[in-house]
Amino acid sequence: MFPTGACALDRTSFVPLYYQLQELLKQQIESGTWRPGDMLPSEPQLARHLGVSRVVVRQALAILEDDHQIHRVRGRGTFVAPPKRAFRAGGLSRQLGSSDAGDRVLILDVGAPTVERSIRERLDVAEGEDVLRVTSLLTLDQTALAIAYSFFRRVDARWLEERLHVGRHLPEDLSLSDHGVALGRSHVSIETSQCGQFEADRFGVPHRTPVFLVLCTEYRTTASGDRPFEVARVEYRGDVVQLRLDTGADRSAGLEAVVGPVEPDRRPSVSPRGPAGP
């Protein structure tokens, strides 16, 4: 089956043909014309049908492959990839109570080190008050996606500290509501960065690979108003994660991480102990 509307490729446009073609193919995939697992026409077939060169087709397919819309199997062809999966992005507290958080979140480190002033100010903790830091690795389908450095006022998170164990996954029965915590608003900033050696080893990517750096403050709702509960610094792999923001009025809306499939040889081996952290 070929994409319809070949005339959609406008040869008078300043938009390159390869980019127009990848948009056309992407629309066919997202509309369900081609479904996950379907084999796409070959490069020569697409080139003949659309009246473009194989170079244009190859460039368009490369964009779709980088975006994990398709995957190529040597000797077999090009196939539509499984749909991307979405989950709520943010700190560790956003994972608590999720149905599959126990399978997704591995605890790398738990402690109460000295932390920088900016963390203390955002948590609104007094000088000399202990801050709990939890380093965790977020995975999906056995693929490492993000490393989170989460900070809590220690006195507010004793129950959390007691249940977390380095080298083990997040307990499935651990939830905020059981401890009287109701999350309210979040303050989130996003920037691009490069992963350090520790993160690169856990992600199974080269050192200094681009990452999305999400800095968030999660607020809990109290009788006197919202107050900081967690400050988190989360590094998401830039090669497989797309961040999507829902700005609706519904409080359940927010920042989502959308993830495509990852080749098996890019799945890392994980050692539990984390670095000193930020």
Domain 6-80 has CATH 1.20.140.10: no
Helices and strands counted in the chain (H then E): 7, 11
d(CA 72, CA 80): 9
Domain spans of the chain, in order of start:
6-80, 85-266
**CATH topology match: 6-80 vs 85-266:** no
pLDDT, residue 2, reads 61
d(CA 88, CA 166): 23
Specify the pLDDT at position 83. 76
Nearest of 223, 214, 253, 202 to residue 92 by alpha carbon: 214
Among 88, 120, 83, 81, which residue's Cα sits nearest to residue 104? 88
Handedness of CA 10, 81, 89, 192 (dihedral sign): negative
* Beta pairing, strands 255-259 & 241-245: antiparallel
pLDDT tens track of the chain, all 278 residues?
565 554 568 888 899 999 999 999 998 888 888 999 999 999 999 999 888 999 999 999 999 988 788 999 988 999 998 877 666 778 899 888 666 665 689 999 999 999 999 999 999 998 889 999 999 999 887 888 899 999 999 999 999 999 999 999 999 888 898 999 999 888 989 999 999 999 999 998 899 888 999 999 999 999 988 999 999 999 998 877 877 776 555 555 567 767 766 554 444 444 555 554 55
Q: How many whole angstroms separate alpha carbon 242 and alpha carbon 99?
A: 22
Strand runs (DSSP E) across the chain, as ranges? 70-73, 77-80, 85-88, 105-111, 131-140, 143-153, 183-194, 210-222, 225-237, 241-245, 255-259
In this prediction the pTM is 0.73
Under CATH, what is the fold of the domain 85-266? Chorismate lyase (3.40.1410)
**Token duo for residue 95:** 């994972």
- The DSSP call for residue 14 is S
